[in-house]
Amino acid sequence: MREALFVKQNSEKWKSYEQMQSLNPDELADRFVDITNDLAYSKTFYPKSKTTAYLNGIASLLHQSIYKNKKEGAAKFADFWKSELPVLFYTYRKQLLYAFLFFVLSALIGILSAKYDDSFVRLILGDNYVNMTNENIAKGDPFGVYKGQSELPMFLMIAFNNLYVSLLMFVSGVFVSIGPVFFILRNGIMLGSFEYYFFSKGLGLESVLVIWIHGTLEISAIIIAGGAGLVLGHGLLFPRTYTRAQAFIKSAKDGSKIALGILPIIVVAAIFESFVTRHTEMPLWLSISILSCSLAFMLWYVVLYPQQIIKRTQTP
């Protein structure tokens, strides 16, 4: 191949490698392997050209970036949540957006179904739950279900259940993304019918102020877990320039990091549900503060902070 054609075919790729230093170690490694392959080709056929010198410079930069970002011990552990996980949120922002849109759509389906079919809420939530909640409403304690068990056993049960559901949503992505969509739709419909039930009883605002103390983090984690499942399925459906096996391995690695990365959020949501939500008599300002802080944190950590990291890693 003539040198001019070699440069023309690869120049855009080389520029992108040179201009943006990724914080994702897997991506850095892939880039380093790719650029060293091009460098080896250039050294073989154009050993004294400017192209070879240029590629050698990019390879050196990537090599330095790999070892600069190599962390050990506690620093590596902290760096995962500080940079690697947010970068994954940015990389797979489309899958997370799709998961969010699917969830909103399914919640609307749940609301409309409950509105036009009186038996739908019982079908989704179960007769026992509806009957118990009706009794609690009659007693003047509509959210008494959160007080029926002591804090620690309730925390362990909720945390385990939510961790199981989230990991199941991720693993189900192996079925070419059908699994996560199914679980997202099911959870969204359940939430929509659940909220409509309380609004129909004149307890809509109160339900938001009480239930979303833990629900803000819990639902956010469910959506992200669904997004991780879509990431897993994406590698099978759209391998691009990789073989299907290579694409699946990469998407499985990235998706598992996202699914495992949200475990602390799930645990905190379980703590809120077990230890905080039960205090339905708490001041209005405190409930609003918890809700606002939880929502602001999720928007910042999943949407805004990853964009800031990417901008910082781009050279002017």
pLDDT tens for residues 224-274? 999 999 999 888 888 776 778 888 888 899 999 999 999 999 999 999 999
Which of 100, 89, 101 shows the shortest CA–CA distance to 255? 89
Which of 185, 161, 195, 188 shows the shortest CA–CA distance to 267? 161
Phi, psi angle pair for 193, to nearest 5°: -70, -35
- For the entire predicted model, the pTM comes to 0.77
Which of 223, 222, 220, 236 shows the shortest CA–CA distance to 177? 236
Please give the pLDDT value at position 26. Answer: 65
Mean local confidence (pLDDT), 131-146: 91
Mean local confidence (pLDDT), 12-38: 70
Distances (CA, A) of 307 to 96, 204, 311: 14, 35, 6
Please give the pLDDT value at position 316. Answer: 45
Which residue bears the tokens 């179904």?
113
The yes-or-no verdict on residue 2 having pLDDT over 80 is no
Please give the pLDDT value at position 109. Answer: 96
Structure confidence by residue, pLDDT tens digits, 70-124: 555 566 778 888 888 999 999 999 999 999 999 999 999 999 999 999 899 999 9
CA angle 176, 298, 233 (to 5 degrees): 5
**CA 290, 293, 294, 297: dihedral to nearest 10 degrees?**
-170
Structure confidence by residue, pLDDT tens digits, 169-227: 999 998 878 999 999 999 999 999 999 999 999 999 999 999 999 999 999 999 999 99
Q: Work out the mean pLDDT of the chain and round it to a whole number.
A: 86
d(CA 236, CA 234): 5
Mean local confidence (pLDDT), 290-297: 96
